[in-house]
Structure 1
Amino acid sequence: MNRIYLDNAATTQAAPEVIEAIQTCFRETYGNPSSLHSFGLEARGVIESARRNIAGFINASSDELFFTGSGTESNNTAIKGIVYSLRGKGDHIVTTAIEHHAIHEPLHFLETQGLKVTYLRNDDNGQVDPDDLKKAITGETILVSVMHGNNEIGTLEPIKELGAICRERGVYFHTDAIQTFGHIPIDVREMNIDLLSASAHKLYGPKGVGLLYIRKGVQMTPLLHGGGQEKRLRASTQDTPGIAGFSRAVELAASEMEKEAGRQSRLRDKLIAALLEAVPESTLNGHPKLRLPNNVNMSFACVEGEAALLNLDMEGIAVATGSACTSTSLEPSHVLTACGMTHELSHGSLRLSLGRTTTEEEIDQVIKVLPPIIAKLRAMSPLYKKQGAK
């Protein structure tokens, strides 16, 4: 059985060129980058070369880029670092109802410490209204955090406009770009971004390596205290092989991003159109146009998403029912709930996320296999039979 991987929003397969870069580094550049001897200097050279390469990819300066252990760590550092640094200047943060848990959970923790948080509402497509942000910012607001592209429904937010509002009001603006980094263009200058989080494993790089862009002049308190690595912002010996792999993944993205975005968008739209036509009572979730090139999120009435996922897995097709970080939870997706979806329909959602290796033949196979699975599950559903009787 040929297996089909359509869960690239959860993680991507490391590219062969990335694996080679990592292995070479493990073999040849194993010194501690903080050491003063030649082995350490070689490792430091690899890290600084990667820093310049990745910074240039988003139009940042190399001294504005800091390596972390994950996108979650980057998000936590951005939020808590600003809060701790500006504790005496304000106690209010603005975010959205559909952020990843790596944003919501640090904020929930800080709320127990007295921080005030405003959660902007979004429309049914998952977009926030810039006018709502203008109304939400107060004299006590110290940070606004809005994700670039939603990890579940793929909707893209008007980051440039939101950042401009924050810049005008003198409030720091952070974006979680973990789903978009390496997939669509990002220019931190043009988009008015003060802080940005990204993760290597979402763009065919290694797991366990992230980055945080911090615009020059932004005040920040570190989370980790110890050595002086990363300009004392992130104490810990850097993962030199992982950073080398991250840099190689960015090089590949820079050369393939535009072509791949177009190719995946075409396959995405083909899959959406075919499923909407073949499966009655199916719904596309997220913005129909302003969405990630690889994201398909659909709900099927009177079907349990987990059952559909397991049936697809038996056919060799890997998909998700929502965010990989919450896939073991029985709670409905907070993103779909925030978009006005009922709990019942939310439980019938599937996310299919394409990647570089996704072929048209694989999409055709999904179109062939998924509608009969939905029909089979509905035939066993008392709720669907009840609705049919009505």
Structure 2
Amino acid sequence: MTTAQRIYLDNAATTPIAEEVVDAMIPVMREHYGNPSSTHAHGRKVKGIIEEARGSIAKMLGCSPGEIFFTSGGTEADNLAIRGSVANLGIENIISSAIEHHAVLHTVEELHHKNGIGLHMLNILPDGHINMKHLQTLLNSTTKPLVSLMHANNEIGNILDIETVGKMVHQAGGIFHCDTVQTMGQYRFDLSQGHINFLAGAAHKFNGPKGVGFIYINKKNKIHPEITGGAQEREMRGGTENVIGIVGMAKALEIAYREMDAKKVHLKHIKGLMIQLLRDAIPEVSFNGDAEGNSLYTVLSVSLPPNDASSMILFNLDLAGISASGGSACSSGATGGSHVINCLNPGSNRTTVRFSFGKQNTEEDIRFTVNQLANWYGNKA
């Protein structure tokens, strides 16, 4: 079975690159090879290409081009925001949650242990949402806080009301960093409203190339680079820019915005269909998080009852030609299960499979997948 014949339901891990994106990148690889830091014609041409991409992304996000900085991806962007805030903005306390991506969790834990920064973890409600009352309590009781929370959880899909959180944080005199890696290209943003100080995105989550991302830094927040060695990115990130990646990312976001409304309708239908078929086929199925409420339409975290097939479920899906995840795929080879699921359902003996959808997925993909699960857990759909 070739890759093209398989069913890909792991779009929260990464997405297939769009053909239009490849077409935009190839001429840059072939023809525009100058170093953008060079002052000659070759360099100036490439510098112009980068700035055109920056302007395109900024326009879609409702911010100034000067507030967009290119990175190697979401992890670097998260690190820059958090470490930069602590080093340069007088942050004394960090408020986050135990269900954040490890790019955030590992960073805030290190700053707590090595730098003595106060670290306060928010209570999580049974449905996986942040306890907003606890957030307000922590904001009232901490000085100079940085709040670092993701827009949508990459494992269960729960959506955070970032406008409300941003207002709460700023009223308390704090800084708000938001990881939008899962929602960039799925939802529209208007950063001109000023609710967010730092925002992270990664191209490969919205059908762009891997190894490139960006950080939005509100112009009021002045931080220093974490990667030094050159004056690139207006001295925010040393090192020659990933020009082809930047071009591909801008094109991918342009396509995502163009197709967003139709894609949202399609994928909401796909997700709803899978929920319905799973309930019909496997009576004991349940769903982690707020799957049918305030949830990302591309992610469905399925909780399956224990049986003889449980320990081999991902392997068997793979053999059946279906690519899915047991949780986050961002840390391959990780052991100990999902920290998000362990937080929501400690000690559970159920098996979790994350199915995440892309614009290429069809009803037939979903029916085939549910039928495979029904072979091991229940009745065929």
Aligned position for 2:94? 93
In the TM superposition, what is the alpha-carbon distance from 1:327 to its structure 2 partner? 5.0
Match of 1:186, SS state, is coil
Aligned position for 1:296? 300
Aligned position for 1:248? 251
Match of 2:327, SS state, is coil
Match of 1:325, SS state, is coil
In the TM superposition, what is the alpha-carbon distance from 1:145 to its structure 2 partner? 0.7
Q: Which runs of 5+ in 1 are unaligned?
A: 377-390
CA contact (8 A) 2:85 2:91 kept: no
Two-structure CA RMSD over aligned residues (Å):
1.6
Aligned position for 2:129? 127
- Encode CA deviations 1:58-87: one digit per residue, 9 max, x unaligned: 11111000000111000000000110113x
Distance in 2 between residues matched to 1:262 and 1:291, nearest whole Å: 14
- Encode CA deviations 1:211-252: one digit per residue, 9 max, x unaligned: 000011112121011111111111111011100000110110
Aligned position for 1:339? 344
User: Which stretch of structure 1 is more off in the superposition, 184-193 or 46-55?
Assistant: 184-193
In the TM superposition, what is the alpha-carbon distance from 1:139 to its structure 2 partner? 4.5
CA contact (8 A) 1:100 1:151 kept: yes
Identity %: 37
Equivalent residues in 2 for 1:248-327, closer than 5 Å: 248-287=251-290, 288-303=292-307, 307-327=312-332
CA contact (8 A) 2:144 2:173 kept: no
Distance in 1 between residues matched to 2:282 and 2:32, nearest whole Å: 54
CA contact (8 A) 1:286 1:297 kept: yes
- Encode CA deviations 1:262-298: one digit per residue, 9 max, x unaligned: 1101110110111122113211111122111111111
Aligned position for 2:161? 158
User: Which stretch of structure 1 is more off in the superposition, 300-309 or 123-132?
Assistant: 300-309
CA contact (8 A) 1:282 1:301 kept: yes
Distance in 2 between residues matched to 1:253 and 1:228, nearest whole Å: 31
Equivalent residues in 2 for 1:1-390, closer than 5 Å: 1=1, 2-86=5-89, 89-113=90-114, 114-137=116-139, 138-190=141-193, 192-287=195-290, 288-303=292-307, 307-345=312-350, 348-374=351-377
Q: Which runs of 5+ in 2 are unaligned?
A: none
Distance in 1 between residues matched to 2:297 and 2:80, nearest whole Å: 28
Match of 2:191, SS state, is coil
CA contact (8 A) 2:281 2:378 kept: no
Which residue type is aligned with residue 324 of structure 2? V
CA contact (8 A) 1:306 1:321 kept: no
In the TM superposition, what is the alpha-carbon distance from 1:130 to its structure 2 partner? 2.3
- Encode CA deviations 1:303-330: one digit per residue, 9 max, x unaligned: 4755111111111011000000245233
> Structure 1 189/124 Cα, relative in aligned 2: closer, same or farther at 3 Å?
farther
Match of 2:176, SS state, is strand
In the TM superposition, what is the alpha-carbon distance from 1:301 to its structure 2 partner? 1.6
In the TM superposition, what is the alpha-carbon distance from 1:341 to its structure 2 partner? 4.5
The TM-score normalised by the length of structure 1 is: 0.92
Distance in 1 between residues matched to 2:149 and 2:220, nearest whole Å: 21
Distance in 2 between residues matched to 1:167 and 1:90, nearest whole Å: 13
CA contact (8 A) 1:122 1:128 kept: yes
Match of 2:250, SS state, is helix
Distance in 1 between residues matched to 2:165 and 2:270, nearest whole Å: 30
Distance in 2 between residues matched to 1:296 and 1:90, nearest whole Å: 36
Distance in 1 between residues matched to 2:287 and 2:346, nearest whole Å: 12
Match of 1:146, SS state, is strand
- Encode CA deviations 1:330-367: one digit per residue, 9 max, x unaligned: 3131111222343422xx00001110110111112112
Distance in 2 between residues matched to 1:37 and 1:305, nearest whole Å: 61
CA contact (8 A) 1:82 1:142 kept: no
In the TM superposition, what is the alpha-carbon distance from 1:150 to its structure 2 partner? 0.4
Aligned position for 1:383? none
The TM-score normalised by the length of structure 2 is: 0.94
Distance in 1 between residues matched to 2:331 and 2:312, nearest whole Å: 16
User: Which stretch of structure 1 is more off in the superposition, 186-195 or 17-26?
Assistant: 186-195
Which residue type is aligned with residue 320 of structure 2? E
CA contact (8 A) 1:64 1:213 kept: yes
Distance in 2 between residues matched to 1:95 and 1:272, nearest whole Å: 30
Distance in 2 between residues matched to 1:142 and 1:84, nearest whole Å: 13
Which residue type is aligned with residue 92 of structure 2? D
Post-superposition, which runs of at least 4 consecutive aligned residues in structure 1 deviate over 4 A?
Answer: 303-306
